[in-house]
Amino acid sequence: MTVDASVRQRIADNVAQTRERIAAAATRSGRSAAAVQLVAVTKYVDADWTHAVWDCGCHELGESRPQQLWSKAAELADASIHWHLIGHLQRNKVERVLPHVTLLHSLDSPRLWQAVEHACQQQGRELPVLLEVNISGDESKHGFAPAELERFVMDVVMPHDGAAIKVQGLMAMASLEGGPERARCDFRALRQLRDQVAAATAGQLLLPELSMGMSDDFEVAIEEGATLVRVGSVLFEGTGA
Ligand SMILES: *Cc1c(COP(=O)(O)O)cnc(C)c1O
């Protein structure tokens, strides 16, 4: 779908405003704006609109469906896009999506770990990943239970020092209910869990990245230590998308 000039302008304004809000939240939490990466979530729009987001300087793009990621990656092969897979990955889609992914945010089970590690070795590549944690305990969500995470890291991640998977940190979504202050508790819990697990590895695995915060709660997430925010809807506000 071609993108008319007024829509382009609106997306550009939304991106600029979002960047300002990110910078302000980073400053409030005593960090530099550069310490927080904006992952622009383009799952709501087609390839032309996705390209329009890229034109606004957003080169880190997030998709939640593997099929959508690989088809957009093919359509937009000319643009130097870093694709982030942020949604659940079924094992039968690993092989096909892997070549396009810069960072997998949603490594959510031991079985998926095995499948991804196997595919990385077949394809001769390393893959940075985040371990998804079901921090809010919502039954509908994927992810490691907080109480299982340390065990998984000590039993699976640490012994495989030379693995193709490179664990960079944790990812979570806040509770669906409860608003930004409930979200703050979830984000803080994720940071504390990261600190606990990193301490258990005696600092051998630092887990520096925390992917948390979406349109409704990214500022709170930054105040609680987010290094990656996954923002979609606000970028398309007022465009009719
Ligand atoms: C859709 C989605 C987002 C973006 O959500 P918005 O509220 O549109 O900003 C972030 N993370 C995940 C995992 C998503 O599926």
Q: Residue 178 has what pLDDT?
A: 85
Among 79, 87, 80, residue whose Cα is nearest residue 62:
87
Instruction: Tell whether ligand 1 has an atom less than 6 A from the beta carbon of residue 169.
Output: no
Q: Residue 216 has what pLDDT?
A: 95
Q: Residue 13 has what pLDDT?
A: 98
pLDDT per residue over 17-55, tens digit each? 999 999 999 999 999 999 999 999 999 999 999 999 999
Tally of domains within the chain: 1
pLDDT per residue over 57-97, tens digit each? 999 999 999 999 999 999 999 889 999 999 999 999 999 99
For residue 210, tell me if it sits in a domain: yes
For residue 167, tell me if it sits in a domain: yes
For residue 241, tell me if it sits in a domain: no
Instruction: Tell whether ligand 1 has an atom less than 6 A from the beta carbon of residue 143.
Output: no
pTM of this prediction?
Answer: 0.97
For residue 90, tell me if it sits in a domain: yes
Which ligand 1 atom sits nearest the alpha carbon of residue 106? 13
Give the helix/strand (H/E) hosting 106: strand 101-107
By DSSP bridging, strand 37-41 and strand 228-231 are parallel
For residue 79, tell me if it sits in a domain: yes
Q: Which residue's CA is the nearest one to ligand 1's atom 7?
A: 215
Q: Residue 160 has what pLDDT?
A: 85
* Count of CB atoms situated within 10 Å of the CB of 205: 18
> Rounded to whole angstroms, what are the CA distances from 201 to 52, 87, 105, 129, 226?
43, 27, 21, 17, 21
Percentage, residues of the chain above pLDDT 70:
100
Domain that holds residue 24: 5-236
By DSSP bridging, strand 37-41 and strand 60-63 are parallel
For residue 213, tell me if it sits in a domain: yes
Q: Which CATH number belongs to the domain containing residue 16 in this structure?
A: 3.20.20.10
Among 138, 170, 139, residue whose Cα is nearest residue 157:
170
Q: 155 alpha carbon to ligand 1 midpoint, in Å?
A: 31
Tell the burial category of 175 from Cβ atoms under 10 Å away from its Cβ (0-12, 13-18, 19+). middle
Instruction: Tell whether ligand 1 has an atom less than 6 A from the beta carbon of residue 191.
Output: no
Q: Residue 238 has what pLDDT?
A: 95
Q: Which residue's CA is the nearest one to ligand 1's atom 10?
A: 230
**Which whole number is the average pLDDT over 183-190?**
97
Residues 51 and 73: their CA atoms lie apart, in Å, by 11
Instruction: Tell whether ligand 1 has an atom less than 6 A from the beta carbon of residue 188.
Output: no
**Has residue 228 got a pLDDT over 80?**
yes
Looking at this protein, which amino acid is placed at residue 29? S
For residue 29, tell me if it sits in a domain: yes
Which ligand 1 atom sits nearest the alpha carbon of residue 105? 13
> Rounded to whole angstroms, what are the CA distances from 79 to 14, 35, 58?
21, 24, 11
**Has residue 161 got a pLDDT over 90?**
no
For residue 50, tell me if it sits in a domain: yes
Which ligand 1 atom sits nearest the alpha carbon of residue 86? 13
